[in-house]
Amino acid sequence: MFLRKQCSGGRNPAPNSERFSRRVARKASISVRRNLFELSNHNVAASIFLAKNLLGYKNVVECIREDGTPIRIERVNIKRLTDEELAEYERLLKKATDSQSDEG
Protein backbone atom coordinates (compact mmCIF):
# COMPACT_ATOMS: atom_id res chain seq x y z
CA MET A 1 0.00 0.00 0.00
CA PHE A 2 2.67 2.50 1.03
CA LEU A 3 4.75 1.70 -2.04
CA ARG A 4 1.81 2.26 -4.39
CA LYS A 5 0.89 5.61 -2.82
CA GLN A 6 4.46 6.83 -2.92
CA CYS A 7 5.01 5.70 -6.49
CA SER A 8 1.73 6.94 -7.92
CA GLY A 9 1.92 10.41 -6.43
CA GLY A 10 5.66 10.95 -6.31
CA ARG A 11 8.25 12.30 -8.69
CA ASN A 12 8.57 9.05 -10.56
CA PRO A 13 5.09 7.72 -11.29
CA ALA A 14 5.99 4.16 -12.33
CA PRO A 15 9.38 2.92 -11.13
CA ASN A 16 9.89 -0.79 -11.46
CA SER A 17 10.51 -2.84 -8.35
CA GLU A 18 14.05 -3.77 -9.41
CA ARG A 19 15.12 -0.14 -9.56
CA PHE A 20 13.47 0.56 -6.23
CA SER A 21 15.23 -2.49 -4.70
CA ARG A 22 18.61 -1.33 -5.97
CA ARG A 23 18.04 2.13 -4.49
CA VAL A 24 17.07 0.67 -1.10
CA ALA A 25 20.07 -1.70 -1.16
CA ARG A 26 22.40 1.19 -2.02
CA LYS A 27 21.07 3.30 0.86
CA ALA A 28 21.36 0.36 3.26
CA SER A 29 24.92 -0.30 2.11
CA ILE A 30 25.88 3.32 2.69
CA SER A 31 24.31 3.24 6.14
CA VAL A 32 26.13 0.04 7.12
CA ARG A 33 29.42 1.39 5.79
CA ARG A 34 28.97 4.67 7.69
CA ASN A 35 28.19 2.85 10.95
CA LEU A 36 31.10 0.46 10.46
CA PHE A 37 33.45 3.35 9.76
CA GLU A 38 32.39 5.09 12.98
CA LEU A 39 32.77 1.83 14.91
CA SER A 40 36.28 1.35 13.50
CA ASN A 41 37.49 4.34 15.55
CA HIS A 42 37.06 2.27 18.72
CA ASN A 43 37.08 -1.34 17.53
CA VAL A 44 40.15 -3.01 16.03
CA ALA A 45 38.12 -5.83 14.46
CA ALA A 46 35.99 -3.29 12.58
CA SER A 47 39.15 -1.54 11.36
CA ILE A 48 40.60 -4.81 10.09
CA PHE A 49 37.32 -5.73 8.39
CA LEU A 50 37.22 -2.36 6.61
CA ALA A 51 40.86 -2.64 5.55
CA LYS A 52 40.31 -6.10 4.08
CA ASN A 53 36.99 -5.41 2.39
CA LEU A 54 37.29 -1.81 1.26
CA LEU A 55 41.02 -1.43 0.73
CA GLY A 56 41.76 -4.98 -0.43
CA TYR A 57 44.28 -5.83 2.31
CA LYS A 58 45.02 -9.54 2.78
CA ASN A 59 46.78 -11.76 5.26
CA VAL A 60 49.72 -13.11 3.30
CA VAL A 61 52.39 -15.44 4.55
CA GLU A 62 55.31 -15.60 2.17
CA CYS A 63 57.70 -18.51 2.28
CA ILE A 64 60.74 -17.67 0.16
CA ARG A 65 64.34 -18.80 -0.07
CA GLU A 66 67.27 -16.44 0.36
CA ASP A 67 67.43 -15.96 -3.41
CA GLY A 68 63.77 -14.84 -3.47
CA THR A 69 62.28 -17.92 -5.06
CA PRO A 70 59.12 -19.31 -3.45
CA ILE A 71 59.20 -22.43 -1.32
CA ARG A 72 56.55 -24.89 -2.41
CA ILE A 73 54.46 -26.15 0.48
CA GLU A 74 52.92 -29.58 0.09
CA ARG A 75 50.61 -31.64 2.24
CA VAL A 76 52.08 -34.61 4.04
CA ASN A 77 50.13 -37.86 4.26
CA ILE A 78 51.43 -39.35 7.52
CA LYS A 79 49.18 -42.38 7.10
CA ARG A 80 51.76 -43.76 4.69
CA LEU A 81 54.55 -43.73 7.30
CA THR A 82 55.55 -46.76 9.31
CA ASP A 83 55.57 -46.56 13.11
CA GLU A 84 59.35 -46.07 13.06
CA GLU A 85 59.15 -43.33 10.42
CA LEU A 86 56.35 -41.62 12.34
CA ALA A 87 58.39 -41.69 15.56
CA GLU A 88 61.36 -40.16 13.71
CA TYR A 89 59.08 -37.54 12.12
CA GLU A 90 57.70 -36.57 15.54
CA ARG A 91 61.22 -36.39 16.99
CA LEU A 92 62.38 -34.09 14.20
CA LEU A 93 59.34 -31.84 14.54
CA LYS A 94 59.88 -31.57 18.29
CA LYS A 95 63.53 -30.72 17.78
CA ALA A 96 62.71 -28.10 15.15
CA THR A 97 60.01 -26.42 17.28
CA ASP A 98 61.67 -26.71 20.69
CA SER A 99 62.64 -23.20 21.83
CA GLN A 100 65.44 -24.53 24.08
CA SER A 101 67.24 -26.26 21.21
CA ASP A 102 68.43 -22.85 19.87
CA GLU A 103 70.01 -21.91 23.19
CA GLY A 104 72.03 -25.17 23.32
Could you list the residue range(s) of the whole structural domain that residue 46 is in? 1-97
- Establish if 33 belongs to a structural domain: yes
Average pLDDT score over residue span 28-32: 85
Residue-wise pLDDT tens digits, 41-85: 888 998 888 888 888 888 877 788 889 888 888 888 889 999 999
Q: 3-class DSSP state for residue 10?
A: coil
- Establish if 78 belongs to a structural domain: yes
Cα separation, 83 vs 71, whole angstroms = 28
- Establish if 39 belongs to a structural domain: yes
Q: How many domains does the chain have?
A: 1
- Establish if 80 belongs to a structural domain: yes
What's the 3-state SS for 51-86? HHHHCCCCCCCCCECCCCCECCCCCCCHHHCCHHHH
Q: What is the distance, to the nearest Å, from the Cα of residue 78 to the centroid of all Cα atoms in its chain?
A: 30
In this prediction, residue 5 carries a pLDDT of 47
Average pLDDT score over residue span 2-27: 67
The count of other CB atoms within 10 Å of the CB of residue 39 is 14
Structural contact between residues 40 and 50, judged by C-beta atoms closer than 8 angstroms: yes
